[in-house]
Amino acid sequence: MKKILLMCTAGMSTSMMVQKMQESASEKNFDVEIEAFGSEHFNELVPKYDIVLLGPQLKYMLNEFKSRGVAQGKLIEVINPMDYAVMNGEKVLAHALELMG
């Protein structure tokens, strides 16, 4: 099972994206766990996930999060702003799975 963590400022907007991604995963019978939290939980949660996707509003923190996550062997990327704006969970899920290989 692949484990995907979405993070934004408070975990609210990414929670909506999680729902869209889960719908897509269910339709395609993908075995994934997807959750969303606020960025203040990064350090405690990152070890539990295969990839961390940041909401576009956290793009400015990408390098900081990468420096913390790379030490633990984690992929950390920013969600495409256009996909995020229209809540395209299918595309965001596909991109996350592609990054994980």
User: Catalytic residue positions?
Assistant: 8
Question: Whose CA is closest to 45, among 11, 79, 78?
Answer: 11
3 state DSSP class of 65: helix
Which residues are CB-contacts of 83 (< 8 A; sequence separation ≥ 6)? 91, 92, 95
Which residues are CB-contacts of 60 (< 8 A; sequence separation ≥ 6)? none
